[in-house]
Amino acid sequence: MYCLTEKVKELITNAEMIAVNQDLHVITPLDLFLGAAYVKKGTLLEMYILIENQLGKLIDYRKKQHLKANDYLTHKDFSIPMTGETEKIWKRSLEIMSKYRQIYLFE
């Protein structure tokens, strides 16, 4: 059992909006990355500042991604499906959290 911090909830919301705005309706690792950058709070603000000049290129790259429909997975923390690679990242985050006996998933 774990809980999500407000920043992680915002990260998820941002990632889902990016995926939907690209008409792909599936979350990719890049969506998680961009979703984190768009939180713009604490260390994520520093992340945003570091990549701000590259955001346009990253969004363009996201638009060009071709995804396999059979690779989509659902997860209770997300309202839209994610790719298998995204699930690996999410699971690894939960494993790290668990390793340190944390209850909250932090960004």
pLDDT band at 102 (very low <50, low <70, confident <90, very high): very high
Report the C-alpha dihedral over residues 27, 29, 30, 31, rounded to 10 degrees: 30
Q: Of 2, 4, 16, which Cα lies nearest the Cα of 106?
A: 4
- Per-residue pLDDT of 54-95, as tens digits, reads 999 998 898 887 776 667 899 999 999 999 999 999 999 999
Interatomic CA distance for residues 14 and 9, integer angstroms: 9
pTM of the predicted protein model: 0.91
The closest alpha carbon to 30, from 54, 5, 49, 2, belongs to 54
What lies within 8 Å, CB to CB, of 4 at 6+ separation is 12, 77, 104, 105
What token pair was written down for 24?
């792909």
